[in-house]
Structure 1
Amino acid sequence: MSFQLSSVWQVLGPFPIGMREQDFGADPLEAYGGFSQLKYSKTSQFPSELSPKGQVGWTKVKSIDNVVGPLLFPDIRWEQNGIPFGWSIEQYQAWARGNLKISKKSHILIQLHGVTSFYINQQKYSGDLYGYKSTLHWVELETGTYSLEVRLVHDVRVFGGGNKNGPQCQFSISIYPLDCGTMVDDALFPRQQYHRFHSNTSTANTTTLLGRDMIKQVLMPSFIQYQGFAGHFGSVSIHNLIPETLHVVSIRLVFQAYHHISDVITVLRPAILLQRSNHTTMVKGQQRRIGFSFDLKNNTVHDETLFLQANKVHVKVIVTFATSTNTFTLVDDSTTINSIDWNQMNTNNRNKASSVEATTTTTLPTSSVFLYTFLDFDGSVQYAKAKRPKVLDANENKPIILALHGAGVDVEHDTFWTDSIDAQDSVWIVFPTGRTSWGMDWHGPSMKNAFYSLEGLAEVMDLLFSRATDGNRSQPSDDQDWIVVEKSESFSIGNINRLIYMGHSNGGQGVWYLATHHPDRAIAAVAAAGYVKIQDYVSYNNWISHSHIDPLLFGVLESAYAEYNNDLHLSNMVGLPVLAKCGSEDDNVPPLHSRKYVRLLNEYSKNPNLIKLSEVEGKGHWWDTVLNDQETNDFLKKIIQQNDNLQPSSLNQHHFIITTTNPASLGVVHGIQIEQLLIPYRKSSLVGDMDTENNSLNLKSLNVSAFKICNRKESTITIDQMVFHHVNRKEGVLFVLDNNGKWMIETSKWPKRGERSRLSYGPIHRVYESSKPLMIVIPNQSQSSTIDNYRHLALQISHDWYLYGGGDSMIVTDDHPLVTFEEIEMESTETMNNRISPFFFRIYLDIGNDNQAVSQLLGLNGNNVDIEINHSAIQVGSRYFDRPGSGILFLSPGSLNEMAIVISGLDLEGLQLACQLLPRRTGMLIPEWVVTSPLTKEQGVGGILGAGYFGNNWQAFGY
């Protein structure tokens, strides 16, 4: 083997750190030169208040099977430390150092799981904190010994807290050589196509090894026997492991359908790439999920009938690639899909009948859960699971249960979650993923994913039953009963705007978030063990930064995440039926969280007994019937039975308060959509009083400058004592505050060019709500060493969005033509049936004026963003920042429907520091612009020089 990883690791720590603070820096060892400059010593001590002596030193720990830890610090009195601070004090940091010896020049694949970052000879790489094991870094190393340094953070949300033996974290290392050590040789890439299943040649054998590393994670929908695939979208994860840009030319699928006796049919179909070939590019080392669509429509009736009877379907994915000089083909043949019997029984009381005719209502046995694929808001292929009701009917107004999982729950494989809610008589249950098992706390992209999964299910059902009903094909079941679906009859999954939000733990928090931000899409909410907000779950009070930062600046930073403070927005869901549950002995999300929700809701409702908490005695955080006991089922049954009589809370509340700090994340509330704030990111409200006798609505505004009436009955609207009669509400009415402080009905195009609204508001984390793949733009012309750094930083950004958000990105140079975006816009509009968001994002990396696209961006007509950058200084408004190592991260308007994120530095250090502020997970306090400095490495946000927002005309304000 060409490398050897040390089995003994040097550990230094523990030191304090707050939840989500590590991405800001906040490393006490930076005061002494940084960990990389410190050598192991049995006698060296460093200050840490976590230790009874106020100092900690070095220890050594052995790794077993490339697992380091759990790390134990027996001298630390964790229980005593927790008396004033609770389990948040267990959020600690430490460093570990090992060696990697390389005996000959090598290409290795490496990833560290359980950490957010690690360093190879001080080059920083993104780790895999949640242990997804879906990414690897391709690293080329010369002969020698390399230092492998790991910054460990005991993340209480990941590793847990309250262990009687103290907090214990560990990390594991995936590392192995890339077997194609000579893969750049022409012999390996001849100017002809070859396939992985060719044999008896060295080329084929090497390609097999290369294919194993390059193609993985094929996503396909479930195969439902006698119906077909639950969706016509799939994706394949591809890792570019050749030293040049790689283009995906085509994808072909070979389906082999197996009966219980023999292989009955093989079908070859070309798949359609969801991006055009010139957009499906990957730079060296990049990993992307490439989406495709497929169909079987051109088979003969005989072949299709045989195919649909299969007990399992084997799928080969054949991908053809091109480089600037070669074309080659690789194959993945590892995917087998077992058929799901649509009529499978989960109970023993199956209805015995010789025939059931499909009429308006078709009664069928309880079904299995199945996986279906769909196009998400950004055009990527995602999946969800659905549980079919016992009865299929054509009621288009019935509700749908949207079930949000907890942190770390894998919807695809964790069947306990999909089993935790009983199949309903006629109501569908949808289990979205939030894009990953940890997701984004059901905020931003996770929330959009949940809503798009509903539309995806409707399309899948249309696909299945348009196929299943052709020719009145009948479906034999296990005991030879027959269920016939007539082509003239149909059924509905229900109304995607009449939802029952349901979830547990992080999913319970997600229920509170959706209910407070999209209450008009729901008729009820069931929240079990949901925490109030991330800052209350594991407190932010132990941040190192608090000892250094100006409180006003920290307030500006906190406002970046205020839109996700569920308690601040609870007024929005008054009138919505709620069942709040928790276990009395929950030591994960203490009952205090649910009790707080109930108290606040009752206060807003002015009724102390309106909502009562169901606190189940003796139960902890999870128990099998938490969402499946008599109380929950009775609540669901009552809501579903009353469905037709339940109106959105907007129509039955005589007094209401709409609250927001950022309309970008707020949907229609009480029939009103807030579009713009006078001062963005300040608490804002509309207070409404309804007069049913006079069919009028009186509104009082606070910090609101534009809103739209979307779904209200009143014809007379009074806003801040200004009266509007005979309001036409058919297509919505937009009210805008003019320059004189007077409300007016806006009939012309709004907002005007250069003016902001909820669609162009930040903060920076909205980059992950882009309606297209992210495009990361780096300079084309730069010094060799600098361009390598640009490429490395771009790869880490791409990696993090892929890993933590299931997202897609492109890496291009600053000479990439703008027309590409127009092409993507047209194609995606056609592909996604106009369900796209108006804005997509580009991320620009720059030092000084290296990136010509940044200069072009800031010089665009109508781009009056209040920031200028050159080699010597960064200017924000009237303020100048010229310290070495300074960097900036800011939002900017772009061309066409583009929003831009510019990440720039006065030097490489400034760029690197600014890059690490790009949020990769939830809870990052990054507003619309931040200026950072090298002091952040030690003091965290205490080293930030300035931060803030832009006004509605892009003027900068803040700290």
Structure 2
Amino acid sequence: MRALENRQENASVSLSFGSSWQILGPFQMGTREATWGADPLEYTGGFRSLQYDPNAQFRSSLPTNGAATWNITEARQTFTSSQATNATLSVSHSNVNWDFLKVVYGWAAVQYQSWARGTLTVTGTEIQHVILYTDTILEFWVDGNHYFGGDFFTFRNAPSVLHLAPGTHQIDLRLVRDVRAFGGIQAPTIDVLIHAERVSGSLELAKPGILMSDVVDGKLASPVGSVALRNSGEEDIEIISIQPSHVRIPFSLQKPGAQVVLDDVLAETSQFLTAGQTQSPSNKSLGIVIAAGQTRPVAFNVSLLSSNVSSLTYVVDYRLQSGDQSFTLEVTQNLTKTSIYEPHKITFLHPGGMASYTMLRAPAKDATCPPGNSSSLPVLLSLHGAGLEADNGVVAHALDSVPDLCAWVLFPTGVTPWSGDDWHNWGFADVEAAIESIPDWIKFVEWTGPGVDINRWIVSGHSNGGQGTWYALTHRPDKVLAAAPVSGYASIQKYVPYELWQPADPRRTAVVSASLNSYRHEMLMPNARGIPIQQQHGEIDDNVPAYNSRLLAQQLYLSGTNSSYNEVAGQNHWWDTVLTTPQLVDFYYAQTKNNATFPRRLDEFEVVVGDPGDTGSKGGLQVLSLEDPGQYGRLYVEGHTITTSNVLSLSFDPTVYEAQSLTIDGSNIASEESNGNSPVTVHKQDGGWQVLSLQSTNGNAQRTGRQLGAMTAILRSQGPFAIQHQSSNITKAIALQISRNLYQYFHADAAIQSYTAAANGSNSTGNLISIVLNTAPADGMHPDFPISITSAGISVRDNKGGKHVYGREGASIGAAFLRPLADERLELVIWGSDENGLRQAARMVPAVTGVGQPDFVVLGKEAKWKGVDGALALGFFDTQWDVTASSLVS
């Protein structure tokens, strides 16, 4: 009877988007500028304060007569059922001469913003739990509630969870056209899809199935598994255990004091995995809390009972934090079985603490490679392009025509289809973790074939993967045997120019630009010297113009390095054999036999470093810190003589550079300071160089290692992120937003806690994000930190010791800044004098690449419409956590 009542109740409930949408625009928008705000409508209170008026006009630099107007657009496709509804919009503006603008400004001209307003109607008599997918949308409002982050690349990882009462709800969408997402050749329309779906209001699978390895020749390739769980309810949920269904221990037997003789069963149950923690007893709660509205990945061990099974089923036990009653959620995964010699999926833990995967192809049985596992073959990395999963056949089988390479062929994911952050910090950490998982695979499957040298890489990749190849080449030169970048772009700024941003003080834009220094490959070509490079690009590529490869080929030549450059006549961006042209095949075979010794011993070379935190050594030399991180650091090496520019400390390999003959900027390094084969660290002090450990000169915390870099250094987390808030509705909502964005764009895990809960005990190994509203953050490790919150506002001490206070009575101020934690961890403080200031500051948490976030930013109210020019102060911290001279503090 109850089932019949439920069906009748469901039949009386429906969701539906209105078919007519009110559009206002267009307004100019630069490449990746939306994160900073830069919405001209905010000058008069924002789109949400406006009502439709077909006669109203708004000043805009794009349309004829400089006037943006309202119009009505019908949803191109509408689907509605009792469970879900969607609306697809294709927005265009005929009152703009796009072709002429492109003649002058190129692809930058067809990046713009508009707004759309529609409705979502909920029928029935009760509040409905709804998830909202916002494909290609970065920012939106529902009934006046602001949501930032959206789903710019249509990942569909973490939709927003809404609790909607019956009635009509207003939806305001900020539409941003981005060439990398929409293309530069097609008509300059903005195509978006918004999808609403009723959900359970409890714990549910955010993605079906279990992320787990394939079964190769009857053995599971890796024991790491993961499920994506979403809490669509209104109360936090605690995960108690994850167990195989056939040996599941009832919750009543998991409680303290209820333990029975279950040793044999416990031996078979899955164990929770996270960074810094390998196992958790199955008779204890995992202690994983999924906040209301949050999506989290949960990693655990999986095992194969028999090689004959075709699927695995696990049971998730959970409870509401307010009660003791337990509930269960079942998840089943069909097994993929294949040969050990075919490309197959293996799982591992990303440094951020969640499970990831890579596709691996072991050396072929009939390959003419040195026999036995005592031999060590290189790793051939093949990095995929934007929007592709590594387990897609287009990626995983791209090198099938060269099956007998004497190499371990690896197709990393970079965590997401857009590789986390374009194969940079987060995505590249995934690459290195994937490489390091190969020895574990060898042990787990009892491999008896050739061994692996995880420090010798041949790197290739297409499109965004080609750009990732340039990144690997310039940031890990002492590990790269050879490189074959295919149809890759030089840098984000060269791909789509950073034109049409809101006008800004050049000093401000210089700081933002400098925060992207490590990703400008056209500036880093000297790092490639001595490495064999085979470039390739389609002649008529209309996605990534061949100019990018031509430019880098020229820069290589001007840096004293020649590459082989193959421009394929008549070919566009992709064709079936793009990664196996004769030139590339010959290159792969030749380089698998490359016996170069690392580090390479070069008589003369240069090292260019934008960020020491993500750059390894070249020729046995590694820059450890810069005098001013807002500028490039350089080493010029001739024999054993080194000349530096903007370098504060470095290390060298004494097996390459005998200490007794090494000279740095005229300073001789004494031979007795060398300690065997361990790297020797030297530091610039009082105008000369000395063998010296990096130490603070003011007694405060020293900035080193993973802490170095711009705000994106927060992504070098060694464990799940911890997000702390003040328990208010506003700060908790911001914490949830940040967690959702981290999972949406990076698949990153984050634990949301109130400050009270965190004070009662937290053993987090990951980086911390603190949400602070209208009060000072808790004291940090640095007692004399240059940024402080006072009753008058926020104070920033400049490089000369002068204090600058921002904020006045009634002013809306926001700030985002890094602070040091122990063990090279970082804290990112998100502070606001009020809700508006806090929400503006929260936009600075890294999510979309190419935005350019320096170490600290203080934002005034005007940032909402001025963008970068509305920053009151912004810049970098040096190794002593003092503000640098290149910062803007006025």
- 1:135 and 1:465 mapped to 2: Cα distance? 38
- After TM superposition, give the deviation of residue 921 of structure 1 in Å: 1.4
3-state DSSP class of the match of 2:130? strand
Distance in 1 between the 2:118 and 2:829 partners? 36
The correspondence of residues 298-447 of structure 1 with structure 2, limited to 5 A, is 307-308=306-307, 310=308, 313-322=310-319, 323-342=321-340, 367-391=341-365, 393=371, 394=373, 396-416=375-395, 418-420=397-399, 422-438=402-418, 439-447=420-428
Give the one of 429, 433, 442 matched to 1:461. Answer: 442
Q: Does 1:874 align with 2:794?
A: yes
Report what 2:269 is aligned to.
Answer: 270
Measured against aligned partners, the alpha-carbon deviations of 1:911-946 in whole angstroms (never above 9, x if no partner) come to: 111011212111121111100011111111111111
Residue 556 of structure 2 aligns to a residue whose secondary structure is: helix
**Match in the other structure for 1:856:** 779
Post-superposition offset of 1:381 = 0.9
| C-alpha separation in 1, matches of 2:564 and 2:511 | 36
Q: What is the SS of the residue equivalent to 2:535?
A: strand
Decide whether the 8 Å contact of 1:387 with 1:423 is kept in 2. no
Deviates more, 1:272-281 or 1:916-925: 272-281
Report the counterpart of residue 849 of structure 2 in structure 1: 922
Which residue in the other structure is 1:17 paired with? Answer: 29
TM-score by length of 2: 0.88
CA distance in 2 between partners of 1:554 and 1:581 (Å): 33
Identity %: 27
Q: 1:45 to 1:824 in 2, by over 3 A?
A: closer
Determine helix, strand or coil for the equivalent of 2:411. Answer: strand
Structure 1 equivalent of residue 589 of structure 2: 637
Q: Which moved more, 1:862-871 or 1:79-88?
A: 862-871
Shift of 1:724: 2.7
The alpha carbon displacement at 1:2 in A equals 4.8
Quote the residue 2:749 is aligned against: 808
Give the aligned residue type for 1:677.
L
- Give the alignment partner of residue 172 of structure 1, picking from 173, 183, 193: 193
From the superposition, tell whether residues 748 and 891 of structure 1 become closer, same or farther in structure 2 (CA, over 3 Å).
Answer: closer
Question: Displacement of 1:56 after TM fit?
Answer: 2.9
Distance 1:729 1:408, change over 3 A: farther
Residue 416 (structure 1) shift: 4.7
Distance change >3 Å, CA 841–CA 338, structure 1 → 2: closer
CA separation of 1:509 and 1:214: change in aligned 2, threshold 3 A: closer
Partner of 1:233: 224
Shift of 1:571: 0.7
Match of 1:347 in 2: none
1:512, 1:527 within 8 Å by CA — same for their partners in 2? yes
Partner of 1:579: 534
Is the 1:735–1:743 contact (alpha carbons within 8 Å) kept by the matching residues of 2? Answer: no
1:539-585, CA deviations, whole angstroms, 9 ceiling, x for partnerless residues? 111212xx2x2111211121111111111111111010000100110
* Amino acid corresponding to residue 804 of structure 2 in structure 1: R
Task: State the match for 2:7 in structure 1.
Answer: none
Q: Does 1:283 align with 2:291?
A: yes
Deviations 1:715-755 (A, max 9, x none): 22111122235363634343433542221112697897522
Q: Contact 2:374/2:450 (CA < 8 Å) preserved in 1?
A: yes
Q: Distance in 2 between matches of 1:955 and 1:738?
A: 17
Q: 1:864 is paired with a residue of what secondary structure?
A: coil
**Distance change >3 Å, CA 820–CA 616, structure 1 → 2:** farther
| Distance apart, 1:952 and its partner CA | 2.1
Contact 1:523 1:647 in 2 (8 A): no
1:502 counterpart residue number:
460
Within the alignment, does 1:248 sit opposite 2:248 as a pair?
Answer: no
Query: CA offsets, 1:633-681, max 9 Å, x none?
Result: 111111122x22x234x53321011111220111112211211222223
Displacement after TM superposition at 1:710 (Å): 2.9
Aligned-residue offset at 1:169: 2.2
Q: Which residue of 2 aligns with 1:758?
A: 705
Q: 1:819 to 1:413 in 2, by over 3 A?
A: farther
Distance 1:533 1:711, change over 3 A: farther
Counterpart contact for 1:382–1:435, Cα < 8 Å: yes
| 8 A contact 2:812–2:836 mirrored in 1 | yes
Distance across 1 between alignment mates of 2:625 and 2:47: 47
In 1, the alpha carbon distance for the partners of 2:223 and 2:478 equals 31
- Shift of residue 778, structure 1, vs aligned partner: 0.5
Equivalents in 1 of 2:489, 2:155: separation in Å? 24
Deviation at 1:214, TM superposition (A): 6.3
1:710 to 640, 647, 653: 653
Q: Which runs of 5+ in 1 are unaligned?
A: 181-209, 257-265, 297-303, 343-366, 467-489, 691-696, 781-786, 826-839
> Is residue 714 of structure 2 the alignment partner of residue 793 of structure 1?
no
Contact 1:314 1:336 in 2 (8 A): yes
Find the aligned partners of 1:396 and 1:888 in 2 and give their Cα distance: 54
2:379–2:407 CA contact under 8 A, matched in 1: yes
Match of 2:720 in 1: 773
* Alpha-carbon offset, residue 417 of structure 1: 5.1
Contact 1:231 1:460 in 2 (8 A): yes
331-340 vs 909-918, greater mean Cα deviation: 331-340
Q: Any idea what the Cα deviations from partners look like across 1:286-310, whole Å, max 9, x if unmatched?
A: 11000001345xxxxxxx6xx22x3
Label 1:73 to 1:597 Cα distance change in 2 as closer, same or farther (>3 A).
same
Letter in 2 for 1:844: S
Structure 1 residue aligned with 2:772:
846
Rate the CA distance shift 1:713–1:272 in 2: closer, same or farther, 3 A: same
- Counterpart for residue 69 of structure 1: 89
What amino acid is the match of 1:335?
Q
What secondary structure is seen at the aligned counterpart in 2 of 1:498?
Answer: strand
Equivalent in the alignment of 1:784: none
Normalising by structure 1, we get a TM-score of: 0.82
- For the residues of structure 1 that align with 2:213 and 2:141, how far apart are their CA atoms? 38
Which residue in 2 is equivalent to 1:834? none
- What 5-or-longer segments of structure 2 have no aligned partner? 1-12, 79-85, 248-264, 275-279, 798-802
1:501, distance to aligned residue in structure 2 (A): 0.7
Conserved 8 A contact 2:313-2:330: yes
| Residue of structure 1 equivalent to 2:140 | 118
Task: Give the count of matched residue pairs.
Answer: 818
Letter of the structure 2 residue corresponding to residue 740 of structure 1 = D
Q: Which amino acid aligns with 1:122?
A: G
Whether the 8 Å CA contact 2:518–2:610 is kept in 1: the answer is yes
Structure 1 residues 316 and 86, CA gap change in structure 2 (3 angstroms): same
- The one of 709, 714, 719 equivalent to 2:664 is 719
Please name the residue that 2:4 is paired with: none
Q: Distance in 2 between matches of 1:749 and 1:124?
A: 45
Match of 1:855, SS? coil
Match in the other structure for 1:90: 110
Counterpart amino acid of 2:413? T
Report the counterpart of residue 647 of structure 1 in structure 2. 597
Measured after TM superposition, the shift of residue 321 of structure 1 is 0.9
Report whether the alignment pairs 1:139 with 2:162. Answer: yes
Deviation at 1:412, TM superposition (A): 2.2
Q: Take 2:743 and 2:375, find their aligned partners in 1: how far apart are those partners?
A: 36
TM-fit CA distance, 1:427: 1.3
Call closer, same or farther: CA 1:237–1:268 in 2, change over 3 Å: farther
2:644 alignment counterpart = 701
Alpha-carbon distance change, 803 to 217 in structure 1, aligned in 2, over 3 angstroms: farther
Deviation at 1:102, TM superposition (A): 3.5
CA distance in 2: counterparts of 1:818 and 1:872, whole angstroms: 28
Q: Deviations over 1:295-331 (max 9, x none)?
A: 45xxxxxxx6xx22x3x62111200113331232323
Asked if the contact 1:9/1:60 (under 8 Å) is kept, the reply is yes
Corresponding residue number in structure 2 for 1:202: none
Report the more deviating stretch, 410-419 or 876-885.
410-419
1:214–1:389 CA distance, 2 compared to 1 (3 A): closer
Distance 1:371 1:92 in 2: 40
Aligned partners of 2:564, 2:844: CA distance in 1, in Å?
41
The alpha-carbon deviation at position 756 of structure 1 amounts to 2.0
CA deviation profile, 1:765-785 (whole Å, cap 9, x unmatched): 1111110111111014xxxxx
Is 1:222 aligned to 2:214, yes or no?
yes
CA RMSD of aligned residues (A): 2.4
